[in-house]
Amino acid sequence: MLFPTTIAGSLPKPAWLAEPGALWAPWRLDGEALAQGKRDAVRLALFEQERAGIDIVTDGEQTRRHFVTTFIEGLDGVDFERRRTVRIRNRYDADVPVVAGPVARRRPIYVDDARFVRSQTARRVKYTLPGPMTMVDTLFDAHYRSREKLAWAFAEILNAEAREIAALGIDVIQFDEPAFNVYFDEVRDWGIAALERAAAGLACATAVHICYGYGIKANVEWKKTLGGEWRQYEATFPLLARSAIGQVSLECQNSRVPIDLVALLDGKDVLVGAIDVATERIETAEEVAATLRAAARLVPPERVQACTNCGMVPLSREVARGKLRALAAGAALARAG
Ligand SMILES: [Zn+2]
């Protein structure tokens, strides 16, 4: 079947689990109630995706507060009591934890969550993890004093986690690397190698997601500086085409990314962002289909998947539900010709 549908990863959380519309929203439950609440939210995220007709589903990232930090909280070597201010992706300042010693994974982090989502659906499941470079970019490193060395340590940790997740029967493991759209020299020098290390030897498909971020103010301001054409992918895609990563998830809908850049992803599955997550307006099926058809003229159609530009966690549940339906309807329309 052409144009299978999937999402970048996250969906909004129910209001009883966390404050709607907020990134990093604190949990509204704790203890066993929180554990049960997370599982119920995963069930709802699956229900919404399946009812909308999404083919390759995720847990909606309902079990984590933040796509990078929640993973890092499970590791040794990072001191969350000490905070330093750093500039994230050259865009905005944030108080971040400090790498105070060797980083290590003493126990599985998302493996139980991945086992649960696998047990709750018969559809193909994608599981998302942060990428090594993006992890480095959310911390102050007082130990390794080298972004490359820290990324390599994270890549080995991610690989151990990903191997256990893949062994559960998860179909795709995706690493989120928005930092790949910012640090082009580092991507070339060590970013791709660290990503490949994280994805080495997995018994499932592998993907990388690279985007222009949520519709938050810092990102909207940053996008204004990027000019009439966003060509950031031009530096990275040829390197990814030669890499061992199987799928690339990118932003297209309503962006200024020239669609012809997808042709640089020779041999890869291309997860075409056909849903804008930075606006509440719900795309029409025709708009989604037009984006998919444009990509399918540049790469073999059987390599095109219909996806969202990025995660939908900041949106309302109603808007996200509408966008899921638009994605499936648009893919069906494109499939019809
Ligand atoms: Zn994204």
The rounded distance, in Å, linking the Cα atoms of 197 and 157 is: 10
In the chain, DSSP assigns E strands to: 56-57, 76-88, 92-104, 124-130, 140-141, 172-176, 205-210, 247-251, 269-273, 304-307
Is there a domain that residue 25 lies in?
no
Q: Could you tell me the distance, in angstroms and rounded to a whole number, from the CA of residue 309 to the centre of ligand 1?
A: 7
> What does the pLDDT read at residue 231?
94
Total domains in the fold of the chain:
1
> What does the pLDDT read at residue 121?
98
Q: What is the DSSP letter of 18?
A: B
Q: Could you tell me the distance, in angstroms and rounded to a whole number, from the CA of residue 16 to the centre of ligand 1?
A: 25
Q: Could you tell me the distance, in angstroms and rounded to a whole number, from the CA of residue 142 to the centre of ligand 1?
A: 28
Is there a domain that residue 116 lies in?
yes
Is there a domain that residue 149 lies in?
yes
Neighbours of ion ligand 1 (CB under 5 A): 211, 310
Q: Could you tell me the distance, in angstroms and rounded to a whole number, from the CA of residue 214 to the centre of ligand 1?
A: 7
Q: Could you tell me the distance, in angstroms and rounded to a whole number, from the CA of residue 32 to the centre of ligand 1?
A: 31
Q: Could you tell me the distance, in angstroms and rounded to a whole number, from the CA of residue 178 to the centre of ligand 1?
A: 6
> What does the pLDDT read at residue 337?
82
> What does the pLDDT read at residue 215?
80
Q: Could you tell me the distance, in angstroms and rounded to a whole number, from the CA of residue 175 to the centre of ligand 1?
A: 10
Is there a domain that residue 272 lies in?
yes
pTM recorded for the entire structure? 0.97
Is there a domain that residue 26 lies in?
no
Q: What is the DSSP letter of 180?
A: G
Sign of CA dihedral 29, 34, 38, 43: negative
Domain of residue 234 covers 31-64+111-134+144-336
Q: Could you tell me the distance, in angstroms and rounded to a whole number, from the CA of residue 248 to the centre of ligand 1?
A: 12
> What does the pLDDT read at residue 24?
85
Q: Could you tell me the distance, in angstroms and rounded to a whole number, from the CA of residue 179 to the centre of ligand 1?
A: 10
Per-residue pLDDT of the chain (337 residues; tens, 9 = 90+): 999 999 999 999 999 999 998 888 999 999 999 999 999 999 999 999 999 999 999 999 999 999 999 999 999 999 999 999 988 887 888 899 999 999 999 999 999 999 999 999 999 999 999 999 999 999 999 999 999 999 999 999 999 999 999 999 999 999 999 999 999 999 999 999 999 999 999 999 999 999 998 888 888 888 999 999 999 999 999 999 999 999 999 999 999 999 999 999 999 999 999 999 999 999 999 999 999 999 999 999 999 999 999 999 999 999 999 999 999 999 999 999 8
Is there a domain that residue 128 lies in?
yes
Q: Could you tell me the distance, in angstroms and rounded to a whole number, from the CA of residue 100 to the centre of ligand 1?
A: 28
Is there a domain that residue 276 lies in?
yes
CATH number at residue 223: 3.20.20.210
Q: Quick one: tokens of 236? A: 């990275």
Is there a domain that residue 188 lies in?
yes
Q: Could you tell me the distance, in angstroms and rounded to a whole number, from the CA of residue 87 to the centre of ligand 1?
A: 18
